[in-house]
Structure 1
């Protein structure tokens, strides 16, 4: 009896392990993968991979990637990522720093997290000004437009960054950079300076300055930003905010591993 019940249990464990391995390939590598590439990477047959992909897609953990023969992370996987990020103590660690940054700048401050090949706002502290910018917590946004996303993109591993740049880049405003070559140059400058500045890239009348947020593993996991009406983001204000957001992101990153 023991042998009869052990086989199905072991088979189920193996299937679950393979499905987890497939998902982890998307988390740590290219954002679009086909059955052939997954089969070669994991050393399992394409028939088995197809079955896993279909099962994961039926639960919206994966979805077909438009314009390719492959798959990408689906909305259910992104939702899990958001939940995981919210569970990190980073939000509790970041709260007093974001509040102080809001008081120092007089503008709205925000924490963004990397989820798949997009970002989401995890928290914000609103400006006291009557005319101010606010962000939508939990909303999925592209990485190429706006300083909070662009500074994350600049510090991603090259393979992941190039996967984002290989896709069509939507023009959210007339100032959004959509040419991959031009964006690479902009990202190189962002990486060298350790901060990104946006004036009307994602929203026409918005300005923002952002710095990357690195996790305990040394990888970029999000960003810290200051945002407000574009007319208040003068050259003098932007220069001041550069230092403030870098210092805030560094402080949050250093304290991330401590219990909240």
Structure 2
């Protein structure tokens, strides 16, 4: 969203202090106001959006800035959320997605006998937040929980890249291209082609590109209403993945839809699809 026009609210006197709980509520109101806009905001706009007097909003902003949650922009007294606040938001979204996906992850690991993995988009990276191991005795190496990969690198990250509009995907590849040097079998051109194939098929497929002898199938979980995009995948030995690509893709699409429904329900949002 763009910043609002000049707010009509008078600076007025600050509200009387109401104890710690009241201060926390005011800080939350200011953080929600900042989170609702893409551009830095003026004090008058923040006060209006948070329904606070300007003097109160100014004190709250100073405290949040001192604690690293808000940053000031230049001499115009513009304010925005800090990178730390962004990371806290990412952690919160990851927790919500992990909770919504728990039953599906267990079911996928049982039905496939291979490893189910869950990732969420964080900027230009895929953050891996959960996995469930199946019963098959041969497992491929997987990223540990909390590890990150550039968008496109790995089957979950490829599904996340393919879920972006093409213009956004191109811009993301512009930014992550230098990191591809760490992956000798990958190139920007290859990721562009694989992302386009994933859009056409409705699922991402990777075989032997990251882990020799390992592959996977992944489907994106699109939940813009909840402010996130995730991906659920099944990974295992390449021959097992390729032999069951269609079966795994259908299974993943069904579970991705269920995860989306649970996610929106947990957030108190209505499923618009």
Is the structural similarity TM-score above 0.5? yes
The 5 Å alignment of 1:1-260 reads 20=34, 24-25=37-38, 59=68, 74=83, 77-86=86-95, 88=96, 90-133=97-140, 134-169=142-177, 170-171=179-180, 172-176=182-186, 178-179=187-188, 181-215=189-223, 217=225, 221-233=229-241, 235-259=242-266
Deviations 1:65-104 (A, max 9, x none): xxxxxxxx84663353123321x2x323311111111111
Any conservation in 1 of the 2:126–2:150 contact (CA below 8 Å)? yes
* Alignment TM-score, normalising by the size of structure 2: 0.64
In structure 2, distance between residues paired with 1:114 and 1:103: 25
Q: Which runs of 5+ in 2 are unaligned?
A: 1-10, 16-26, 44-60, 72-81, 268-273
Secondary structure class of the residue paired with 1:166: helix
Q: Which runs of 5+ in 1 are unaligned?
A: 7-12, 26-37, 45-51, 63-72
Q: How many angstroms does 1:256 deviate by?
A: 2.2
What is the number of residues matched between the two proteins?
Answer: 218
Any conservation in 1 of the 2:68–2:84 contact (CA below 8 Å)? no
User: CA RMSD, aligned part only?
Assistant: 4.0
Any conservation in 2 of the 1:152–1:220 contact (CA below 8 Å)? no
Deviations 1:9-50 (A, max 9, x none): xxxx9xx68x936x953xxxxxxxxxxxx68xx799xxxxxx
Residue 8 of structure 2 aligns with which residue?
A: none
Change (3 A) 1:205 1:242: same
Secondary structure class of the residue paired with 1:257: helix
Q: How many angstroms does 1:248 deviate by?
A: 1.5
Change (3 A) 1:124 1:213: same
In structure 2, distance between residues paired with 1:81 and 1:111: 14
* Alignment TM-score, normalising by the size of structure 1: 0.67
Change (3 A) 1:156 1:219: farther
Q: How many angstroms does 1:110 deviate by?
A: 1.3
Secondary structure class of the residue paired with 1:129: coil
